[in-house]
Amino acid sequence: MVYYAATALFLALDFGFGINVRVAFLESLPGLRLGYYAVCFACLALMIWRPAWTTAVGVIESLATLIALIFNMALRSMVVTERMLETGAGFVTMPEIINFLIAGFAAYFSYAKGASDLATRLRSD
């Protein structure tokens, strides 16, 4: 729940100071970045409203983040456009790769831990 509560801090860093820590994979798509932040706030609201759903919400959001990270990185690294070749812009950069690895590991860890917790809870019921 702390991860989602920290969204306000990450939002302020991103749009207030230009430091995009949480969603560097959406750097070129500010509309989708705002959407991602909105989803994080919605997850926080769900967790506050229904504390029993905390693990399930975390698992679903982590899985969605993993899918978005993988698709974004795959499309940008495998689909080369004419604009990319002409301008040299748009190619995946080293900071984006590092952010992908860090965010991907965190999302995978969160997903695996949450899915394990859900499976244990289902087996005990």
Would you list the domain boundaries of the chain? 2-124
User: Of all residues in the chain, what percent carry a pLDDT higher than 90?
Assistant: 34
Assess whether pLDDT exceeds 80 at residue 5. Answer: yes
Instruction: Compute the average pLDDT of residues 18-39.
Output: 79
Q: What is the pLDDT of residue 111?
A: 95
Q: Is the pTM of this model over 0.75?
A: yes
Give 80's pLDDT tier (boundaries 50, 70, 90).
confident
Band of pLDDT at residue 14, cut at 50, 70 and 90: confident
List the structure tokens of 102: 């860090």
Radius of gyration of the chain (CA): 16
Residue 116: band (very low, low, confident or very high) from pLDDT cuts 50, 70, 90: very high
Mean pLDDT throughout 8-14?
A: 88
User: What ranges in 1-125 are assigned the alpha helix state H?
Assistant: 2-5, 7-11, 17, 30-49, 54-78, 82-87, 94-124
Q: Return the higher-pLDDT residue of 91 and 56.
A: 56
